[in-house]
């Protein structure tokens, strides 16, 4: 595939630890829409294979993978297993995993290398905590996470960056538009410095994106889409967010 010259828009849903078989009807509803931009759903591992069968044009991704190809890692899943199940993407370094599973920038980077070797597109998450924000450290934190978590093999075709302020996830709170703009501009600047196709990486915002605030967020420069948690679980909520992105 030729290298992209400008970022592709992506509406990504992270179902987290939500969804039994009945939730596949939401995927049916999304697959039946005329979406107008790339859509990705990352269901729990148990639904990956059936989700692929229900997804139509919608891409399906995992929510994590191990850095090793295989071996004695009880409860883990490899990038090749995700690919084998029909996934095209994997979320890495989500703040819930950084917090609950002690993931570091180095471990996220190792997972990203494994995912790229398996042919997956990575959605690498970063974002500051509320304490870091209050201390005025947001840009320093995201720069460190970007440098540490994104491997040298990253390209605009195999890597998406998601800025998710930890304090905005599931809280109904979001940064100001200026704050989002500042972070995304810095992410773009650093990607352009490091990668020859840095201008074409898709940059997502995540954290309390809803149908009511999506359009305003998508109008911000360098915001190419969203990584959505709660509002991705129902097609009735995620559909309007997809439409807002397609229109932006």
* Residues tagged active-site: 94, 164
By CB under 6 A, name the binding residues for ligand 13P.
14, 94, 164, 169-170, 206-209, 227-231
Contact status, residue 215 vs residue 246, Cβ threshold 8 Å = no
Q: Residue 170, annotated ligand binder? A: yes
- The residues near 31 (Cβ < 8 Å, ≥ 6 apart) are 54, 55, 56, 57, 58
Query: 64 or 80, CB closer to ligand 13P?
Result: 64
Residue 190 Cβ, how far from ligand 13P at the closest point, in Å?
A: 21
Instruction: Indicate the pairing of strand 202-206 with strand 159-163.
Output: parallel
CB of 171 to ligand 13P, least distance (A): 7
In the complex with ligand 13P, the residue whose CB is nearer, 33 or 210, is 210
Q: Is 230 annotated as a binding residue?
A: yes
Helix (H) or strand (E) holding 185: helix 177-194
Cβ–Cβ contacts within 10 Å for residue 93, how many? 27
Residue 16 is assigned to a ligand binding site: yes
CA distance 161 to 226: 10
Min CB(226)–ligand 13P separation in Å: 8
Q: Contact, 24 vs 1, CB < 8 A?
A: no
Q: Between residues 80 and 123, which has the closer beta carbon with respect to ligand 13P?
A: 123
Query: Annotated binding residues for substrate, as ranges?
Result: 14-16, 170, 208, 229-230
Q: Would you list which residues are annotated within the binding site?
A: 14-16, 170, 208, 229-230
């Amino acid at each position: 595939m030729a290298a992209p010259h400008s970022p592709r828009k992506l509406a990504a849903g992270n179902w987290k630890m939500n969804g039994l078989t009945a939730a596949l009807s939401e995927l049916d509803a999304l697959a039946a829409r005329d979406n107008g931009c790339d859509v990705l759903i990352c269901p729990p591992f148990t639904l990956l294979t059936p989700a692929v069968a229900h997804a139509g044009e919608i891409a399906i991704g995992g929510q994590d993978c191990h850095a090793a190809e295989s071996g004695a890692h009880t409860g883990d899943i490899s990038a090749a297993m995700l690919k084998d199940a029909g996934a095209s993407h994997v979320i890495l370094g989500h703040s819930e995993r950084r917090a609950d599973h002690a993931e570091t920038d180095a471990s996220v980077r190792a997972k990203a290398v494994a995912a790229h070797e398996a042919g997956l597109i990575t959605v690498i998450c970063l974002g500051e905590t509320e304490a870091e924000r209050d201390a005025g450290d947001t840009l320093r934190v995201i720069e460190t996470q970007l440098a540490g978590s994104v491997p040298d093999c990253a390209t605009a075709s195999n890597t998406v960056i998601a800025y998710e302020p930890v304090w905005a996830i599931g809280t109904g709170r979001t940064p100001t538009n200026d704050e989002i703009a500042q972070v995304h501009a810095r992410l773009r600047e650093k990607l352009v410095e490091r990668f020859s196709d840095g201008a074409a990486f898709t940059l997502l915002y995540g954290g309390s994106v809803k149908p009511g605030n999506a359009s305003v967020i998508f109008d911000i420069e360098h915001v190419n889409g969203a990584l959505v948690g709660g509002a991705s679980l129902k097609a009735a909520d995620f559909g309007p967010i997809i439409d807002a992105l397609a229109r932006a």
